[in-house]
């Protein structure tokens, strides 16, 4: 058993999640008598981005549109990459200090970096962040660039968390068919069938459209609890049109760039009606995931910041008509599940174990991934 730290800076660009797990890379144990509580999931930390840092990252996403080769860093991307590396180093240093842990105690760090461009059909996905610089500053081996090999081999490069979702579900003794939904900036689902059969894909927008709408209209970063959406009325015609997008009928594997859909589609609607329309769109697009399931899940577990949007959760329940629980309610962590996943993925990668599969990213055969940087 070893200790691994996972680092996630997601498409919401709110901050860096840090999580410690203890694992041998293949199994996660369950705390006895617990309600799914998984024992090796340890303490967590968070390093928010300042408003200025968020603005730089938003600009980096725009500037990344010009990238044609993975290594290119046009516009402000060099500056943004330095920020990502420095902020992640600070996040780990603060976490280790808070937990009284020594760097030597950590076997590996799984470093996702910040996705600035994701176009798997064109064979390109870019996560900025300098894994070698991070390893050298921390004095801990770092596994980074976990999506690149999969995309180079013809996969979607996303989602990567399904293998961790399955390990968690197995450790917790949850029965199939089960769906685990992550609502981040983009939403992705893992469907677990009999004998641990996996089917995973991005379902469509998560919080991104709602966040962008709120920022434009109110200057606030999110619709707290979904209260603005709850006060509005969805525009039926616009909603129906949005849901006709071919992405939702496209068979998995499939993944989405954060900015594929735009909140500007809600155009001239009032703040409340626009929020209601985009929230309803997000919920219904997500519920369409069951169209692709071989075995209809009887239970959904929802993680990610979107689990805190009460209106989105209410609409999801309404459309799915099955039992829905938040990850927190089943003893997992809604907020840190992805960071935990990247710790687990780093351990798997270090052992040369597969992290992506034909039914998760569409890659031809199970593949390991990531680049290992050793301190020095």
State yes or no: 13 annotated in a binding site: yes
* Among positions 41, 83, 158, 179, the unique one binding ligand AH0 when judged by CB under 6 A: 158
Question: Is-contact 138 93, C-beta < 8 A?
Answer: yes
Positive/negative CA dihedral, 136, 103, 22, 98: negative
Q: Closer CB to ligand AH0, residue 118 or residue 308? A: 118
- 284 lies in the binding site for ligand ATP (CB under 6 A): no
> Is 10 labeled as ligand-binding?
yes
Residues 312-351, mask of contacts with ligand ATP (x by CB under 6 A): --------------------------x-------------
Q: Does 10 bind ligand ATP (CB under 6 A)?
A: yes
Q: Give the binding range for ligand ATP (CB under 6 A) out of 72-80, 230-238, 275-283, 306-314.
A: 306-314
63 binds, among ligand ATP, ligand AH0, none (CB under 5 to 8 A by kind): none
Task: For residue 277, give the nearest of 326, 303, 311 by alpha carbon.
Answer: 311
Q: Which residue is nearest to ligand AH0 (CB)?
A: 159
Q: Is the peptide bond before 222 cis (omega within 30 degrees of 0)?
A: no
Distance CA 253, CA 170 (A): 23
160 vs 150: CA distance, rounded Å: 10
Q: Is the dihedral of CA 288, 294, 298, 299 positive or negative?
A: negative
Task: Work out the angle between the directed axes of helices 77-99 and 131-138 (0-180°, nearest 10).
Answer: 30
What is the Cα–Cα distance from 373 to 126, expressed in whole angstroms?
Answer: 18
**By the rule CB under 6 A, 305 interacts with ligand ATP:** yes
In the list 6, 12, 200, 254, the residue contacting ligand ATP (rule: CB under 6 A) is 12
Q: Which residues contact 311 (CB under 8 A, 6 or more apart)?
A: 223, 225, 226, 227, 229, 230, 279
125 touches, from ligand AH0, ligand ATP, none (C-beta below 5 to 8 Å by class): ligand AH0
Q: DSSP for 32-74, please give it.
A: TT-SS-BTTEEEEEEEEPPHHHHHHHHHHHHHGGG--STT--T
Pick the piece of the chain touching ligand AH0 (CB under 6 A) from 76-84, 152-160, 274-282, 287-295.
152-160
* DSSP symbols for 283-311: HHHHHGGGGG-SS--SEEEEESGGGG-HH
| DSSP structural state of residue 123 | T
Choices 29-37, 98-106, 182-190, 216-224; region in contact with ligand AH0 by CB under 6 A: 182-190
Which of ligand ATP, ligand AH0, none has residue 160 at its interface (CB below 5 to 8 Å by kind)? ligand AH0
Instruction: Tell which one of 25, 185, 204, 362 touches ligand ATP (CB under 6 A).
Output: 185
| 108, 186, 278, 341: residue in contact with ligand ATP (rule CB under 6 A) | 186
Residues with Cβ within 8 Å of residue 201, at least 6 apart in sequence: 156, 159, 188, 189, 252, 253, 254, 255, 289, 292, 360
Cα–chain-centroid distance for residue 337?
9
- x/- string (CB under 6 A) for ligand ATP, residues 187-226? -------------------xx---x----------xxxxx
Residues 223-242 that bind ligand AH0 (CB under 6 A): none
Minimum CB–partner distance for residue 111 and ligand AH0 (Å): 13
Asked if 186 interacts with ligand AH0 (CB under 6 A), we say yes
Q: Identify whether the C-beta of residue 156 lies closer than 8 Å to the C-beta of residue 256.
A: no
Handedness of CA 305, 95, 85, 76 (dihedral sign): positive
Q: Is 11 in the site for ligand AH0 (CB under 6 A)?
A: yes
DSSP structural state of residue 175: P
309 binds ligand ATP (CB under 6 A): yes
Residues near ligand ATP, by CB under 6 A: 8, 10-12, 14, 182, 184-186, 206-207, 211, 222-226, 304-306, 308-309, 338
Binding residues for ATP: 10-17
Residues near ligand AH0, by CB under 6 A: 10-11, 115, 118, 125, 158-161, 184-186, 188, 202, 255, 338
Binding residues: 10-17
């Amino acid at each position: 058993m070893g200790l691994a730290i996972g680092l996630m800076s997601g498409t919401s660009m709110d901050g860096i999640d840090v999580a410690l797990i203890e694992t041998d890379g293949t199994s996660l144990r369950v705390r006895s008598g617990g309600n799914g509580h998984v024992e090796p999931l340890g303490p967590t930390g968070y390093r928010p981005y300042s408003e200025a840092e968020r603005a730089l990252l938003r600009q980096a996403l725009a500037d990344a549109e010009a990238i044609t080769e993975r290594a290119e860093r046009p516009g402000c991307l060099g500056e943004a990459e330095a920020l990502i590396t420095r902020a992640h180093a600070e996040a780990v240093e603060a976490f280790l200090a808070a937990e009284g842990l020594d760097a030597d105690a950590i076997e590996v760090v799984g470093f996702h970096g910040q996705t600035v461009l994701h176009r798997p059909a064109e064979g390109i996905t870019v996560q900025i962040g300098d894994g070698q610089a991070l390893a050298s500053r921390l004095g801990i081996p770092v596994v980074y660039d976990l999506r690149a090999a999969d995309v180079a081999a013809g996969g979607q490069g996303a989602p990567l968390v399904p293998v961790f979702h399955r390990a968690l579900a197995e450790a917790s003794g949850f029965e199939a068919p089960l769906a685990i939904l992550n609502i981040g900036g983009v939403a992705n689902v893992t469907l677990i069938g009999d004998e641990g059969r996996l089917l995973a894909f991005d379902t469509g927008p998560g919080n991104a459209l709602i966040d962008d709408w709120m920022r434009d209209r109110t200057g606030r970063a999110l619709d707290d609890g979904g209260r603005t959406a709850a006060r509005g009325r969805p525009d039926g015609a616009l909603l129906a049109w949005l849901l006709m997008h071919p992405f939702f009928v496209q068979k998995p594997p499939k993944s989405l760039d954060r900015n594929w859909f735009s909140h500007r589609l809600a155009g001239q609607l009032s703040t409340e009606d626009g929020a209601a329309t985009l929230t309803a769109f997000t919920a219904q697009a997500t519920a369409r995931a069951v169209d692709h399931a071989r075995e209809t899940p009887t239970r959904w577990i929802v993680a990610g910041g979107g689990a805190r949007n009460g209106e989105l959760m209410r609409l999801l329940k309404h459309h799915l008509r099955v039992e829905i629980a938040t990850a927190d309610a089943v003893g997992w962590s809604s907020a840190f599940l992805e960071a935990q996943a990247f710790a687990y993925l780093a351990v798997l990668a270090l052992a040369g174990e597969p992290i992506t599969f034909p039914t998760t990213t569409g890659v031809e055969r199970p593949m390991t991934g990531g680049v290992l940087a050793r301190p020095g």
